[in-house]
Structure formats: C-alpha cells, structure tokens
Amino acid sequence: MTSASNVMSYQLTTIDSLYKCSFSAMASPCEILFRADSFQSANKFASFAFEETKRIETKFSRYRTDNIIYEINSANGKKIKVDEETARVLDYADQCYQLSNGYFDITSGVLRKCWVFDGTEQTPIPKQVDKLLLLVGWDKVVWNNSYIQLLPGMEIDFGGIVKEYAVDRVAEKSITYDISKIMVNFGGDIRTKNCKPDESPWVIGIENPEKEESPLGTVEMNNGGIATSGDSKRFCFHNGKRLGHILNPKTGWPIKDAPRSITVIASNCTEAGMLATMAMLKGGDAKQFLDLQGVRYNCVTK
C-alpha cells in the first residue's frame, strides 16, 4: 500500500498491525510507526506528519534564504520581530544557554567556517579562531521575547533543537488524530507515546555508532524520548590527538576529551537531545554530568 511514490512525499505502508510512514527530511531518514483505525485516518495523520516536519525544516533551516533564520542572520544589526514559534525556540535556546553556563550557544555556528572535520590534520590558525570568536556569544544578542538583534556578522542556528522539536511535535499532535500508539524516529532521534496503559511497550535498539552491526542493547519504553549527540565520522587531528566536532563557544576549539557519542533517554526527545548535547559540552566530565541528572544514558568514549 503506497500512497505516493514521489521522493518529495511520504510512503505509507503497514507492518503487522501498525502503519509505517517514511520519508526523508532534516538530512535523515524519517520513520513513524503508529496504530490507527483505518488506512484513511492513518493517511490523514501521515500527511500531517510529513507536512509538519517539512514546515519545521523549511522554517528553521540555516541553508535557506527565504526563512526567519536567514532574515535574522542577514539583518546586519537591525532588530527583527519574530513569530510565536520562533520566539518559543529562542526562549528555549536562551534558557539552555543559561542552564549550561554559556556552553550551549546557538551563535557558535560561525566557528564552523574555520573548522573542517575531514579526518585530517587540518586545523585553523589561532588568529582566525579569535576573529570569529568576536561573533560568538548569546550574551551579545539582544532578545526581549519578541525582538532579536544580532551584531553584524553574527549568526544563529537551531542545530541541537530543531530535529528533536520536530520529533516531539509530530508525536504530541498525534493525539488530535486519535493515534494512541506511536513511535517517531528521525535518524535515531526518537519519541514514543502509548496512550493506553495496557499496550505493550515499544522496544528500541540502541545503535553502536562505531559498529552498526552490533547494537549496544535494547530499551523498553512506553512514553519517552531518546536522542544521540555526536558523530564519529566528523573529527580532525591536532598534534596527533583526535578532536571531535563539538566546538567550545568560549575558546572556539573543539571540546577536550568529548565522548564520541552520547545517547540519553528522557521524557521526550527534545529534553534527551539537549541533555546529550550539554553532556558532550562537558568533555571528560560528561558521565559525571549525566549521573547527576539521574537519566539513563549510553556514552561511547573510545
């Protein structure tokens, strides 16, 4: 049963007693497993899920020139009024900046201009980093809950928030389509929901980022989120030492001793993703940080 074969749309199929909606968005394979009363209502929801994900991707992508992110980043010092949803994401980013003592910073993206994580010895010259650091720092941004003002040259991006947000949005909105059991999985960032207590829990395998063929284990979950931070394929070497791609917004250099990857289980995907990202920014103290939070996690350090 395929409702559409166009790559710009989604596919809806059935597996056992569940529907599976799959499409490609946010540079990831996206997959939604859910239970619905009929193919018709399943298709209605699948269509919504696809449209909603695309909407969020389009609205918050840093690669486009027709969205709010571009408008903010190209304002050249001017004040920009933002809409409701953008304001909520900016509020959230602001709170995460403060909760992480300034380590999670949505203005740190400009640093990527001088870093190429291609697995070689190529690192930028310190002067280049220092120059870009002048354009980094959420504390330099004026944000008054409806207007945002960046210094000319500064940029923001919602990496670390948007994909997880889309996962949760799709899962949360499923209630209005009378979907009682759902798992949203966008490239390993997962949210599950079981509205009926007697439903069997979702069983989710945790991938090993180093060896895809040998998963680390499985997790049983009714309502919750899983997200992973880290990308073992993006790194470089400096003086023979491997440096991961997580950049420290205070030094402009990669975080020291950052784990290869961190997977966190929390009550939703956005929270799990942020905890994983913040743990990553703690470098060698990542595990200690996660233990303190009292969450289940998996940390790959080698």
Partner 1 sequence: MNRSSHLLVLGIALALGVMLSGCTTVGVKVWERDILATPYMQPDRHSIERELDDHIYFSKEGSSGGRGFGGGGCGCN
Partner 2 sequence: MQLNNQKSIKSALAIATTVLLGTSVARATDVESTLLVYSEKDRVSAAEGAVAVSHNLDENNQVRIKLTFDALTGASPNGATTSKNIQTYTRPSGVGTYTSQPGQTPLDNTFHDSRVSVNGLYTKRLGRLTSISIGGNFSSEFDYTSLGINSGISRDFNNRNTTITLSGSLSVDKIRPVGGVPIPFASLPLPSTSLPRVGPDDTKKTYDLLLGITQTIDRKTLFRANYSYSHAKGYLNDPYKIVSVVQDESSPNPGEPVDFIYEKRPDTRSKQAIYARLKRYFNGNNCDISYRFFWDDWSLTSHTIDLFYLWDLKKGRSLEPHFRWYHQSASDYYVPMLVENRPLPQFATADYRLSTFSAVTVGLQYAFQVIPAHTMKLTFEYYRQFGDSSPPEIFGSLLNYDTFPALKAIMIRLGYDFSF
Buried b (16+ CB within 10 A) or exposed e, 144-174: eeeebbbeeebbbbbebbbbbbbbbbbbeeb
Residues 195-254 touching partner 1, rule: CB under 8 A, are none
Is residue 65 at the binding interface for partner 2, with CB under 8 A as the rule?
no
CB of 98 to partner 1, least distance (A): 7
**Residue 98 sits in the site that holds partner 1 (CB under 8 A):** yes
Site size with partner 2, rule: CB under 8 A: 39
Q: Give the one entry of partner 2, partner 1, none that residue 179 binds, where binding means its C-beta sits below a cut-off of 5 to 8 angstroms depending on kind.
A: none
Block residue for tokens 């210094």: 151
* R_g (Cα) of the chain, nearest Å: 20
Residue 195 interacting partner from partner 1, partner 2, none (CB closer than 5 to 8 Å by kind): none
Q: Structure tokens of 291?
A: 């233990």
Binds partner 1 (CB under 8 A): choice among 1, 27, 99, 203? 99
Residue 26 or 278: which CB sits closer to partner 2?
A: 278
Tally the C-alpha atoms within 13 A of residue 87's C-alpha that lie toward its C-beta.
Answer: 9
| Residue 248 CA: distances (Å) to CA of 106, 114, 125, 224 | 12, 13, 16, 29
Residue 122 in contact with partner 1, rule: CB under 8 A: no
120/267 with CB nearer partner 1: 267
C-beta neighbour count of 289 within 10 angstroms: 18
Residue 31's DSSP bridge partners are 22, 185
DSSP 8-state code for residue 65: S
- Least gap, CB of 231 to partner 2 (angstroms): 20
**Pairing relation of β-strands 224-229 and 261-266?**
antiparallel
Cβ 300 to partner 1 shortest distance, Å: 29
The contact set with partner 2 (CB under 8 A) reads 84, 87-89, 91-92, 95-96, 99-101, 103, 145-146, 165, 168-169, 172, 175, 248, 255, 266-268, 270-271, 274-275, 278, 281-283, 285, 288-289, 292-295
Residues that bind partner 1 (CB under 8 A): 91, 95, 98-99
